[in-house]
A and B are shown apart, each in its own frame.
Chain A
Amino acid sequence: MAVAASTRGDAIRDMLGLVARLGLATVWFISGIAKALDPRTTLVAVQAYQLFPDSVAELLAAVLPYFEIALGLLLTIGLATRLSAVLSAVLLVAFIAGVISAAARGLSIDCGCFGGGGDVRSDETAYTAEILRDLGFLLLAGYLVARPSTPLSIDRWAQRRSGGPAQADASAGSQQPA
């Protein structure tokens, strides 16, 4: 297989991919665990966006922290990196849309991105910073969607493993006549 892939460019891209993957994993872990530890606050934070009826907000507030933790876990071990990165990007775009809509409607809330959240005094809103931060995370997700193969990942291990035996078969076949 592509043994000759160890050029300098590939090594750098590998390193970037690893940093993006683990960076995004850390973001999801921190934000997911903070939300999971304080479900009452998370519910209030979701309700503060005033986008959903109560029953939907309750379900969303219960699911969201663990979805984030699951993404963090998958990215950490590098399982289905492209799928995880796509889901991360979808979630981040939804967050950005939520914050923009809160800003557009003149709500005075904290995004609740890393737990906490809910209403804050209007001079404490930080919509621009929240959106820029989410765009930064989106960049990490985008990189992984484009180039999901990273070192120290189950994806790459499984790829080598499934690629390996097929090649060994072929070489064994050519050796036998000799």
Chain B
Amino acid sequence: MAQGNNKKSNVKPASKGIQPARKPAAGRQSVAAARSSSSNNRTQLIIGAVAIAVIGIIIVVGVIFTQRQAAVQGEGYGASTQSVASANADGVVNVIKPGAKPKVTIDIYEDALCPICAQFEKQFGQQINQAVDDGSLAVNYHTLTFLDPNSFTGTYSTRAAAALLCVAQEDGSQPGRYLAFHSAVFNPDTQPEESGTDDLSNDQLAALATSNGASADAATCISTGANVAAAEASATTSTATLSAATNGRVATPTVVKDGAPVPELTADWLSNLLSQS
């Protein structure tokens, strides 16, 4: 019975629902059009809102990902205290903790004018200092000079490479000296801009070395440009070594381990190398 009542009461709204159909045809169409256009407007709003939300979510996720990728490694470690440096006959500078037998040896190819090298130093410099200091890493620094033409004087890359060589030769046995000057040369705030309006003279490079603990002998070597020819020769040799390891691709910074380039210098490339060995 109750069900029957329910059914009856259900019929009434239905019969009311027919009433609009008795209105003139024109009125009915305009109602339909109005409903359709308001529904379309709502759809447009929803689509716009969803689109903006999609853009927002992708950007937020992306920025977080980027920041993790750009995170400074070994943050807070600071300068190297244990490393010594020595230049070989080809002008390649070997950096190692005295007496240590590092599990990992890498070759780093850089150009003193290369802005990405400065970013690389900023992100991984302290981590490299730490790994060298604890004896697990040795680094061979190759300083290339192919960006010379992009420097204000046309010779900055070579002169900076010569300055690095001076500090390695004169002060390499003093713990941390070479890496301290290396960090200063590749400091994004010190590094001259490519195609800029100035760069550093030999005297300015010498002053930079002195303020980072270099000896008077090293400063003289830098300001007189004593190693410029040696740096040029070293860059030529190292360019050939790099080219052989990378099938001819000469770009900086490049890290080479066991004769092959480290493919992606992601945030954890060095931690991975150190933990794998």
Contact = CB atoms under 8 A, between A and B. Distances in A.
A176 B14 CA distance: 10
Given A39-B66, A176-B21, A177-B21, A66 B59 contact: yes
B150 interface: yes
Interface residues of A, number: 48
A66 B116 contact: no
Contacts of A8: none
Contact of A63 (B63, B69, B149, B195): B63
Interface stretch (A16-24, A41-49, A93-101, A137-145): A41-49
Nearest to A61: B66
Interface string A153-167: 011001101110111
Chain B, interface SS category: helix
B51 A173 contact: no
Interface residues of B, number: 45
Contacts of B260: none
A69 interface: yes
A67 interface: yes
Given A63-B59, A63-B62, A47 B115 contact: yes
A62 B66 contact: yes
Nearest to B31: A170
A83 B51 contact: yes
A112 to B, nearest CB: 12
B120 A166 contact: no
Contacts of A84: 51
A173 to B, nearest CB: 4
A40 B32 contact: no
A5 B62 CA distance: 41
B70 A40 contact: yes
A24 B116 CA distance: 30
B54 A176 contact: no
Interface in A61-115: 61-63, 65-67, 69-71, 73-74, 79-80, 83-84, 87, 107-109
A62 B63 contact: yes
B29 interface: yes
A176 B18 CA distance: 7
Contacts of B50: 79-80
Contacts of A119: 115, 150, 194-195
B47 A155 contact: yes
Interface of B: 17-18, 20-22, 25, 28-29, 31-32, 35-36, 39-40, 42-43, 46-48, 50-52, 54-55, 58-59, 61-63, 65-67, 69-70, 115-116, 119-120, 123, 149-150, 193-195, 265
A118 interface: yes
Contacts of A79: 47, 50-51, 54
18 contacts: A36-B65, A40-B116, A44-B115, A63-B63, A66-B58, A66-B63, A74-B55, A79-B54, A80-B51, A83-B51, A108-B150, A119-B115, A119-B150, A158-B47, A159-B43, A163-B40, A170-B31, A173-B18
Nearest to A173: B21
Contacts of A118: 115-116, 194
B39 A166 contact: yes
Contacts of A65: 62, 66
Contacts of A165: 39
Given A62-B62, A66-B59, A166 B36 contact: yes
| Interface-central residue, A41, A83, A154, by most chain B CB under 10 Å | A83
B29 A170 contact: yes
B32 A167 contact: yes
Contacts of A108: 150, 194-195
Contacts of B65: 36
B116 A41 contact: yes
Contact of A39 (B40, B48, B70): B70
Nearest to B147: A119
A161 to B, nearest CB: 8
Nearest to A50: B193
| Interface-central residue, B36, B51, B65, B70, by most chain A CB under 10 Å | B51
